[in-house]
Structure 1
Amino acid sequence: MMNHPHIDEMDYVCNMIYTTFDLPVYAMNANGELLFEQSAAYIHHPMYFSEMEMLKPLFVTDDPHHFPVFRTTMFLENFFSITLRTERAFQGIIIVGPVLYSTLHEESLTGMLNELQLTNEKKRMSEYFEALPVINQLKVISISKLMHYMIYKMKLDTVEILRQNELLHTKAIEIEHLHVHISGSGQQHRFHANSILEKKIYQSIAKGRKEELTAALTAYPEKGIFGKLSRTSSSRNSKNLAIAAITLGTRAAVQGGLHPEIAYTLSDLYIQNLEELKDSRSITQFANSALHDFAERVLKHREQKYSKPINACKNYIFSHLYDEIKLADLAEMTVMNPSYLSALFKKEVGTTISEYIQRTKIEEAKSLIDYTTYTLSDICTLLNFHDQSHFTKTFKKFVGLTPGEYKNRTERL
């Protein structure tokens, strides 16, 4: 059941968000009056006379309250707001921001100021943007989900937040112009994706059918784009769509039998790396590769049918990759004789327990090299190898390259 908060009780929530994430937070009552704020370290916008002037366009009384609403200003600042409502009435709004999703480079700043005819304010605006917090969009969405949960005790989904915001902003277009937008989309062949084709993509992942997935993804340029999830940036739009696709691909992979921990960890890594890409083409290619990886992993999982004790061993090994894993622990966990368990594992999996542990740790090491900034020494320690020499020898045994060679090759790709 949804909580029904009162604006006067929100100072604790606002203070927690401010102190934890260093984001400016404002609370306004139903009359649009600023009740309290947390923004001590924040440099005020030089183009506004007061904070209220900046916040006024963000005070929208008819915003829905069941999800955070995101807005981007003409200055490329980002805010999210959470409307406070009881069963009876509108109570007010909490506004969080401004924040940048990525560093605003000088070239972008110059272009924006030229468009706004504010070139003489470059020094003050540059100082202002340098002081703004820079947090990638996915994390900002997570912060908004946390704050919304603190207020309403509702669990929200990232993809649903993106879609609801797109629907909300689409409604802002005057209805009499709707036929113009449809006509324009038709002339440019920019139709939203066929729902059957979209379903086929995620069914292909769930069933581990890579060829069908490739065919469905290839058909997308013919069927049209997904839609538009950002009005200010084509690359941001591509990233939003890719995040949605990866999130849905993750669910499909779990549905197909992939271990949830593996699926969600992969999803996090993919989305984190996605944020580093700059152009739409690279973003789309990366998202397609992620979906193919999910399908391939589901396929491997579906091809492997093991007994209950062996599946329990595999899950234990995966869950304890960063620990020292001993045969005695596995035997105790499965309530089996160590020798018998070893023989059964070799019979079903085709490799010894120790070799399987080593191989799985090396696969984890490859992911850490590919998707994190950990040093090779850090990875060696994290995965509980005896020493660097042992790590290097084991890595080369399964990969054919030393960790250093693998890292150098990956960085060149």
Structure 2
Amino acid sequence: MEQAIYSRNLSQLCKLIQESCCLPVFYAQNKQPFIDAAAAAGIPLSPLFPDLEGLAQSLLTPEAEYPSIRTTNFWEQFIIIPVKHEAESKAFIIVGPSIEKLPPEEHRAKQLNDYRIPYRDKPNWTAYWESLPTVNRMRLLHTCVLTNLLVNQETLEITDVLEYSFKYAQPQAFKRDVERNISARRESLIFHQSMMEERKFFNFIRVGDPAGLIIKLAEFSYEEAGVLSKRSHIRSLKNLAICGIALGMRAAIEGGLYEEQAYMLSDLYIQQIEELHDIQTVKAAMEGALLDFAERVKHSRNPILSRPVKACREYIYTHLYEEITVDKLAAVSGLNSGYLMHLFKKETGQTIACYVQKERIEEAKKLLQMTGDTISSIGSRLGFYDQAHFIKVFKKHAGMTPKHYRATL
């Protein structure tokens, strides 16, 4: 009798949570889901599982004792709430599935390919993802806290939920291995390169000194950099290269490189490294990327600029193909338009309009060199209202027409 009342209470709680949060909810005992047919029809079911029982078995583990959020390899989010009750059979409230946001089509295709999902199943997955309710991370955390309060009369902070979720993501066996490996390396006197040496290394990027960096790269010992993959030497080297490029990117930003430019370069270098399959080419690609960062910092070194002017320059760089107005820059910088124009001219030696024009002409030079696009197309993309205007401004800043410039390349 008590078990029946217990189950009925859980059913009522699930219905209350579902109506309050507008999310799918069901409960499971001993990994067996309990839900009425009408409610079950409203729960999106992954193409991986034939029924809710298969889903429940994939989510629940015997050691799950605390409220947590699980995110699957296919972007589904689930709230798992263990029910604290004296009944012998262990029960869980499961809220989900939901999704933080629908990934782009390209990402979805790659994910299905990575997990060897047959192409013929793609429509089923697309329909499934599009059926999931969208819930951002913070709302999901608050929903977890609220659900636990309703179910267990226990008050938690969202930081508690995050901590519990991290515990499930990192098995205890791994934690023991970490401590054992640290002790073994200390006993064997196997150490990494010092933090001071690392700072010296990346400082050559920060100050824009490619010549000094070349010498430092020649002295660099890959053996002292650590093992970042136990099974594959080339995977370890790729991981090292990715870490090095990430640190190099941050040093370049500190040295004055545009943030967005540095991030884009980092992405491209890492993508290149992932495609390589030879140890020497991976090393060459990493070293080339770091030297490129240092070279770019060297050529972009600027006098000390105030925070508002830096913000404007960054905005101009990232929005060069859009309309850029003084009002937009004033909003970005937090200054009024008149003072911003005065400050920008004082610190850079040129007006905002002239600076934007010069940046667009520099971009046009790259497009003339790297693409076969027509002159009128390039001018139009960069915001010049007609070809004649583009040619006039290009000649003003480059000393020749776009056609002549392309012919000299």
Q: Which has the larger radius of gyration?
A: 2
Task: Tell me the TM-score normalized by structure 2.
Answer: 0.50
